[in-house]
A and B are shown apart, each in its own frame.
Chain A
Amino acid sequence: MIIASHTAGAVYDINIFGLSVTFLLVALAAILTVVMRLGMAKSMIWSTLRSLLQLLAMGYIIKYVIEANNPWIVLALMVFMVIAAVQITLTRADGIPRGLVMPVLLTLMVSVLIVDSVVSELIIAPSPWYAPQILIPVTGMMLGNLVAAIAVAMSRFFSDMKAREYEVEVYLSMGATPFEAAKPSIIASAKLGLIPTIAQLASSGIVLIPGMMAGQIMAGGDPLEAAKYQFVVLAALSSITIIGDTLIMILIYRRCFTELDQFEPHTV
């Protein structure tokens, strides 16, 4: 048994004991936050429980979808993921005006289409084409990244436009179009959304073993295969984050202007 555990390709299951130890660790951290009066114990335990339930649910769902092996079920799950991502993006972005469901939905849909056509179908090219064990994780990773990037970019854009109120007015007063007047905010916001993605790309492999590669190795996969997969996914994620970030900015910047191209900052 001991020898077997050293062989490559061995899979170590996490049992109830393992999960309990994890919770013990979280409880310890929670106690620490109580002692230090950080006021985060409740939300920490709650988020931990929530993440366990969500991840387990996702695990069961993917398992079911893989076993069902039906393209319609795969597509339905992807649609559901996109809709949930829209909702998460909108709640996560502070200080944004109402009515941004359509631009966010469109951005996420376009991004999913691009990533899944390129990464899933062109690069990995599974058989059958709808192989859920490829499509679902790729979509999930991409949405996770994009939700964070878009939420940050949107909050920043609206607060930056408000802060640049006088500047925007001056630009418009000299004949600038709304896009020209909003451009500095668009650039600053899109950049801010990209920082974590770019940082991850540059630092991965040196200190950080990205989650996907780590998971594949821990689950007994070939580390070199895992590295290739991880590179494709990271590079694709960065590109799609830039595309999604740019798209959402183009779709929302006009919200700060009236039909007559007058500046109307959103006070939320």
Chain B
Amino acid sequence: MSYFSAHALSCVFKQDSSQQNGKTLFSNLSLHLERGEIVDLTGPSGSGKSHVLMALALLDPHASAKLTLEGRDSSSFTPESWRRNVVYLPQRPVLTSDTVLDAVLLPFGFSINRNAKGLRPQTAKPVAKQIRNGLDELGLDDVELVRNPAMLSVGQQARVCLLRSLMLQPKVLLSDEVDAGLDPDSSDKVGAMLQNAATHMGMAVLRVRHRNSDGRASRILSLAHGRLSRQEME
């Protein structure tokens, strides 16, 4: 039995409710992730990679799927506790708080993180020192915690968002091109941090990537024309 599995994964856009057949982006896909495993998802733009990730986090209203985490069906979770365990990290960085510190702490103000409804005992709110170390590890040592995130570059913002998602210590992280706009050095730091989370916390990581393989993924899946196939590793 897999750590995380998805079956009958479909995404259909209906123009209106009366219409029976909408535009099908993909249907009946299956995938699984093992504990501590990094898997890459590639494919041409518009093939629906982001929709796959959002569907896995139960975020896509157009998608349907049969999902399990550690053998438990997603229907036995509230949507919030599912998303707390299976965290989707969007490609577009969104940091609405006034400081980097507040931005990273934002999700710790949500009710789900105040009363432990999730699977594991609730993740403690990180202290400033931990956030500082995380930023340094991601090559953001020149970004002060009191800095306004709006003043950061998109690449810097993306890494702050990554750190925020990792601080939640999810069981599964669905990372959508977090290293898209980064230089090779920063991209490697992002990869190393995800690798670290996978190895030490047992986090399963599904990465949408356009870059060449960095050797960290155990499998590479390719999505094209609504089909998911396993790519041969070089």
The chain A residues found within 8 Å of chain B, CB to CB, are 166-167, 169-177, 180, 184, 258, 260-264
Contacts and interface: CB of A to CB of B under 8 A. Distances in A.
A180 B111 contact: yes
Nearest to B96: A167
B107 A166 contact: no
B61 A166 contact: no
Interface of B: 57-61, 79-81, 83-84, 87-90, 92, 94, 96, 106-107, 110-113, 118, 161, 164-165, 168
B80 A177 contact: yes
Q: Which of A173, A177, A260 has the most CB of B within 10 A?
A: A173
Contacts of B80: 175-177, 261
A174 B61 contact: no
A258 B94 contact: no
B112 A175 contact: yes
Contact of A173 (B59, B61, B81): B59
Contacts, number: 66
Q: Which of A166, A175, A184 has the most CB of B within 10 A?
A: A175
Shortest 7 CB-CB distances between A and B: which pairs?
A: A175-B84, A174-B107, A261-B79, A175-B112, A173-B88, A262-B61, A170-B94
Given A174-B107, A176-B110, A263 B61 contact: yes
A177 B60 CA distance: 15
Contacts of B60: 262
B158 to A, nearest CB: 12
Nearest to B60: A262
B92 A174 contact: no
Contacts of B107: 174-176
Nearest to B161: A170
B81 A175 contact: yes
Nearest to A179: B111
Contacts of A262: 58-61, 79
